[in-house]
């Protein structure tokens, strides 16, 4: 028997449940002591590998990047303990990443779907409303069960955030994606955009900076999670400062959204809205910042157990991925301290194990 790792520390199978005595045998987790001797013995608090539910592999500030850059992105995420990524829009064909045993597991969403001349150049499909349904169908068939819409962006004609597509067209597009067996998520900064997406039966809201009290009961009732991407929202003051001379209303709006970023996350959490971690890495945000996002959620007011659930057990269940259980893939991270008491320990992991291979 080969490739045995013994984990001697507490194994956190849930926020309120820990076990002792776990091994990785041939890349598979087991709580039954193997007959062979371990090649490695790792101590510390064991968690499922982190999930970055809003990440862009193969994307740079100007659009698609080459394979060498894509590889470096994935490796940076891996080193930080991100072992499962839901790519939230990329112009690159990253299927080759999924074939690499030494890179994080990847769930692809295809390209962003945005309104013509109403998004960052080179990142997504830029279309008119009459093209939305068919484009969504195509991306649903091409991805791994997710489609990404750009719900709003600055409309330079009015000088503020505005919906990308008419509400009725969005409803038709979400229905089309569901017909294809895919879920839909949407970039939403503005308040009214969230209303449109909830009316359409959306499956997830990205950023959700415009979250208002009226949205929260609907998010709970419709079981729609949010991925706040707080490390990205931290860039809003700079965006506002650059835009202010030409688009003062937009700049003021972005500043107001930034000011209540933490308040809205806590309100959602306390009401029972599911929250998952995402960094938005790939354009202006560098890869490998999952711990920063976890610490941001904690600073916003989420207790350690909720932060860990957002990045591990809960996020994995939501995406249909294994966590820590008998027979699961050995995709785990090991902390120096109990992360339920000190979330910041996730910023300096002791070990990372992917598919039973010790990464660090």
**pLDDT tens sequence across 270-300:** 999 999 999 999 989 999 999 999 999 999 9
Mean of the per-residue pLDDT values for the chain?
A: 97
* Average pLDDT of the residues in 229-256: 98
Cα–Cα distance for residue pair 294/80, rounded to 1 Å: 12
By three-state DSSP, how is residue 66 classified?
Answer: coil
Q: Are 112 and 150 in contact (CB under 8 A)?
A: yes
- Tokens 């207790």, located at residue: 303
Distance CA 349, CA 360 (A): 9
Region 311-334: mean pLDDT is 98
With CA atoms as reference, report the closest residue to 92 among 49, 62, 59: 59
Render 4-37 in DSSP notation, one character per residue.
Answer: EEEE-S-EEEETTEEE--EEEETTEEESSPPSSP
**Contacts for 175-179 with beta carbons within 8 Å, 24 or more apart?**
175/201, 176/133, 176/136, 176/137, 176/140, 177/136, 177/137, 177/140, 177/147, 179/137
- State how far the Cα of 303 lies from the Cα of 301, in Å rounded to an integer: 6
Taking the complete model, does pTM exceed 0.85, yes or no?
Answer: yes
pLDDT bracket for residue 101 (50, 70, 90)? very high
Average pLDDT of the residues in 30-54: 97
Q: What is the model's pLDDT at position 283?
A: 83
Q: What is the mean pLDDT of residues 138-165?
A: 97
Q: Computed over its alpha carbons, how large is the radius of gyration of the chain?
A: 20
Whole-number Å distance between alpha carbons of 183 and 160: 29
The pLDDT tens digits for 183-215 are 999 999 999 999 999 999 999 999 999 999 999
Q: Is 41 left (phi over 0), alpha (psi -120 to 50) or beta?
A: beta
Does the pLDDT of residue 248 top 70, yes or no? yes
pLDDT score for 338:
98
Q: Which long-range contacts (CB under 8 A, 24 or more apart) does 217-223 make?
A: 217/271, 219/268, 219/271, 219/273, 220/271, 220/272, 220/273, 222/198, 223/274
- What are the distances in angstroms from CA 332 to CA 129, 197, 198, 223, 298? 43, 35, 35, 28, 21
State the maximum Cα–Cα separation within the chain, in Å, rounded to a whole number: 70
Q: State how far the Cα of 287 lies from the Cα of 346, in Å rounded to an integer.
A: 16
Task: Answer yes or no: is pLDDT of 1 > 80.
Answer: no
Higher pLDDT among residues 320 and 121, named by residue: 320
Tokens of 324: 């820590």
């Amino acid at each position: 028997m080969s490739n045995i790792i013994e984990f001697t520390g507490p194994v956190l199978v849930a926020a309120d449940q820990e076990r002792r005595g776990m091994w990785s045998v041939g890349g598979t987790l087991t709580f039954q002591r193997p007959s062979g001797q371990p090649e490695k013995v790792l101590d510390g608090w064991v968690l499922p590998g982190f999930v970055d539910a809003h990440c862009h592999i193969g994307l740079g500030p100007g659009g698609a990047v080459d394979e060498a850059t894509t590889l470096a992105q994935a490796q940076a995420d891996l080193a930080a303990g991100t072992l499962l990524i839901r790519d939230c829009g990329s112009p690159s064909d990253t299927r080759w990443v999924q074939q690499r045993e030494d890179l994080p597991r990847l769930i692809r969403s295809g390209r962003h779907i945005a309104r013509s001349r109403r998004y960052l150049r080179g990142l997504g499909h830029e279309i008119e409303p009459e093209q939305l349904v068919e484009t969504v169908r195509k991306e649903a068939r091409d991805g791994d069960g997710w489609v990404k819409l750009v719900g709003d962006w600055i409309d330079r004609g009015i000088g503020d955030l505005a919906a990308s597509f008419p509400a009725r067209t969005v409803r038709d597009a979400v229905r089309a994606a569901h017909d294809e067996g895919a879920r839909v998520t949407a970039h939403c900064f503005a308040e009214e955009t969230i209303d449109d997406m909830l009316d359409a039966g959306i499956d997830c809201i990205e950023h959700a900076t415009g979250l208002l009290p009226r949205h929260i009961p609907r998010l709970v009732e419709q079981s729609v999670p949010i991925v706040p991407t707080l490390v990205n929202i931290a860039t809003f003051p700079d965006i506002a400062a650059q835009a202010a001379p030409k688009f003062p209303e937009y700049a003021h709006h972005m500043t107001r959204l930034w000011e209540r970023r933490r308040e809205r996350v806590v309100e959602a959490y306390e009401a029972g809205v599911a929250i998952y971690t995402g960094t938005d890495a790939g354009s202006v945000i560098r890869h490998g910042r999952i711990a920063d996002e976890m610490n941001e959620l904690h600073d916003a007011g989420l207790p350690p157990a909720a932060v860990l659930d957002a990045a591990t057990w809960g996020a994995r269940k939501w995406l249909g991925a294994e966590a820590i259980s008998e027979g699961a893939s050995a995709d785990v991270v090991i902390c120096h301290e109990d992360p339920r008491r000190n979330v910041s320990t996730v910023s300096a992991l002791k070990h990372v194990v992917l598919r039973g291979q010790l990464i660090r």
